Amino acid sequence: MEHCPNWGGQIKIVAAILEAPSIEWILTHLRLQARAPLRAPARADFREAALLAARHPGLRAGAAPGVGRAW
């Protein structure tokens, strides 16, 4: 990011805070979430998806079993 998204002026970094306790304190003080949200589980890899598609030929690519087709 080189320019302010609101005003278009050039942005200059004046500080970098790297210590986790300081970052958490600042975010909490600003009433922002201090911890990253939980990550969703990864999708099945392509080999598993290919095996699933071979077993269920009418299944849409990327759909869960029972989605997009009456079983």
The verdict on residue 3 lying in a domain is yes
pLDDT, tens digit (0-9, with 9 covering 90-100), for 18-65: 999 999 999 999 999 988 888 877 766 677 777 777 777 766 555 555
Predicted structure pTM score: 0.41
pLDDT, greater one: 67 or 60: 60
Calpha distance 71→61 (Å, rounded): 16
Sequence-separated (6 or more) residues with CB below 8 Å from residue 51: none
The verdict on residue 59 lying in a domain is no
Sequence-separated (6 or more) residues with CB below 8 Å from residue 60: 67, 68, 69
The verdict on residue 5 lying in a domain is yes
The verdict on residue 28 lying in a domain is yes
Residue whose structure tokens are 């201090």:
34
The verdict on residue 50 lying in a domain is no
> Any idea how long the chain is?
71
Domain ranges, residue 19: 1-36
Q: How many domains does the structure of the chain reveal?
A: 1
pLDDT, greater one: 70 or 53: 53
50 close to 41: Cβ distance less than 8 angstroms: no
